[in-house]
Amino acid sequence: MPTALVILAAGQGTRMNSEMPKVLHRIAGAPLIAHAMRAGAAVAPERVVVVTGHGAEQVEEAVAAFDASAICVRQTEQLGTGHAVLQAAPALDGFAGDVIVLYGDTPFIRPETLDAMLAARRSHDIVVLGFEAAEPGGYGRLLMEDDRLVRIVEAKDATPEQLAISFCNSGLLAADAATLTGLLKKVENDNAAGEYYLTDIPALAAAAGLSATAIRAAERETLGIDTRAALARAEALFQAARRAEMLEAGVALTAPETVFFAYDTEIGRDAEVEPNVVFGPGVTVESGARIRAFSHLEGAHVGAGATVGPYARLRPGAELGNGARVGNFVEVKEARIGEGAKVNHLSYIGDATLGEGSNIGAGTITCNYDGVMKHETQIGARAFIGSNTMLVAPVSVGEEAMTASGSVITEDVPAGALALARGTQVNKPGLATKLMARLRAIKAGKKG
């Protein structure tokens, strides 16, 4: 049975107290909407429809960045969750199958849970995802009779007896597309909030002779983000889960609580990550690599057995070959560091290719930017770049060539050549002693 997703993301999220639409706030480097889309992707949906409203243009950009084939529909006025889902109906035209409604601000839904909802659909027309709430507060209450969901009562409309129910609505719902659209058209807004509630669907289904049920998930899975405090808690939950998964997968973490992963960080078995390392999006680390303390990596690939840091920064496009070494206070951007090459101290390597086994001396800088354009530096295999060399790009240094320390290299260096590009040293015998004596005499004279 084909599946479609309808993801609600039109709300403003007033309680975030932010200019940015709520679903663009990030967990582990990815916007909430991307987490929701990733969760939904587990059921291999045939169609993904995202309902946007507040900050629609920005949200649509984030949606397209995650899945260019997702369809965005706009809900210009936020008249309620039922109204929001109905806006997706035209985009579902021609689709026959099950629809799962997800919230863009609910990032932790597991694939197993969506599978369980679809499985429950075999015996019920409407399936709602519920959870036992520690603090039911403003959640919709699920009124059950055995496994039958009779109706959902919003907290605002509930009686004190109904408010005592702790089995609550997560907001997720699964139903056949045509059935859902048909029922949504019957939803009215005669309730305490004056909104078109999606939660009226189970009762409308019962009235139409259809059946509804609710299945259970853990509360931490259905967690929705409403405030910055909730966002921070969700980040902590994500990180705790990811650290545990990494350890389970054979990654050595000496102080796991100090390492921060992005949603897509991949680390191979027997790689080691020292304390206080931050991974931005797009990082892969191969087996046996060592990421030393206080390093920051983003959009980078670290080859097997390579070493990074301590205190290194790998920016997008950094590609470290197997066994390469990038040491303290080194920044690498858009550069391929060949197998076994070393950039051990205080360097900036940007828009460059370093051949295998090359050695880059301390303080070396690829001067890649002329103020307007970026230029490339090429270093051949086994070349030796002396300390404090300025490589003014575009420039190349051939295989097994050398540059003298302190050189400013503005012309290509042929393979095997030594390039000297600095002032020639002149020694004046005894002059230092004489000069110091004169200076001391001047100072003594001034005091007198």
Under the rule (CB under 6 A), what is the footprint of ligand UD1? 8-11, 51, 53, 75, 78-81, 83-84, 103-105, 139-140, 152, 154, 168-171, 197-199, 224
- Smallest distance from ligand UD1 to CB 108, Å: 13
- Smallest distance from ligand UD1 to CB 105, Å: 4
Q: CA 432 → CA 147, 426, 437, 445, distances in Å? A: 95, 13, 9, 20
**Residue among 76 and 410 whose Cβ is closer to ligand UD1:** 76
**Residue among 67 and 356 whose Cβ is closer to ligand UD1:** 67
**Residue among 13 and 355 whose Cβ is closer to ligand UD1:** 13
CB 281 within 8 A of CB 65: no
- Smallest distance from ligand UD1 to CB 4, Å: 17
Alpha carbon distance 42, 3 (integer Å)? 11
Candidates 25, 83, 301, 345; catalytic one: 345
Strand partners, 148: 145
Q: CA 56 → CA 23, 25, 63, distances in Å? A: 11, 14, 10
**Residue among 86 and 210 whose Cβ is closer to ligand UD1:** 86
**Residue among 79 and 415 whose Cβ is closer to ligand UD1:** 79
With H, G, I as helix, E, B as strand and everything else as coil, classify residue 104.
coil
Q: CA 409 → CA 241, 366, 399, distances in Å? A: 49, 10, 15
- Smallest distance from ligand UD1 to CB 299, Å: 29
Q: CA 276 → CA 254, 256, 265, distances in Å? A: 10, 9, 15
Orientation angle between helical segments 56-66 and 32-41, nearest 10 degrees: 40
With H, G, I as helix, E, B as strand and everything else as coil, classify residue 409.
strand
Determine phi and psi for 297, rounding to 5 degrees: -125, 140
Alpha carbon distance 432, 448 (integer Å)? 25
CB 253 within 8 A of CB 276: no
Q: Is the dihedral of CA 118, 121, 127, 129 positive or negative?
A: negative
Q: Is the dihedral of CA 407, 411, 413, 419 positive or negative?
A: negative
- Smallest distance from ligand UD1 to CB 22, Å: 7
| Distance from the Cα of residue 285 to its chain's centroid | 16
With H, G, I as helix, E, B as strand and everything else as coil, classify residue 98.
strand
- Least Cα distance to 126 among 211, 193, 51 occurs for 211
Which amino acid makes up residue 397? V
Asked about 301 being catalytic, the answer comes back as no
- Smallest distance from ligand UD1 to CB 56, Å: 11
**Residue among 80 and 299 whose Cβ is closer to ligand UD1:** 80
Alpha carbon distance 354, 325 (integer Å)? 12
- Smallest distance from ligand UD1 to CB 164, Å: 16
**Contacts with 53 (C-beta within 8 Å, 6 or more apart), sequence order:** 9, 10, 11, 12, 74, 75, 76, 77, 78, 84
- Smallest distance from ligand UD1 to CB 189, Å: 10
Q: CA 75 → CA 66, 71, 91, 367, distances in Å? A: 21, 13, 13, 49
**Residue among 23 and 332 whose Cβ is closer to ligand UD1:** 23
- Smallest distance from ligand UD1 to CB 154, Å: 5
**Residue among 75 and 403 whose Cβ is closer to ligand UD1:** 75
**Residue among 10 and 343 whose Cβ is closer to ligand UD1:** 10
Active site residues: 345
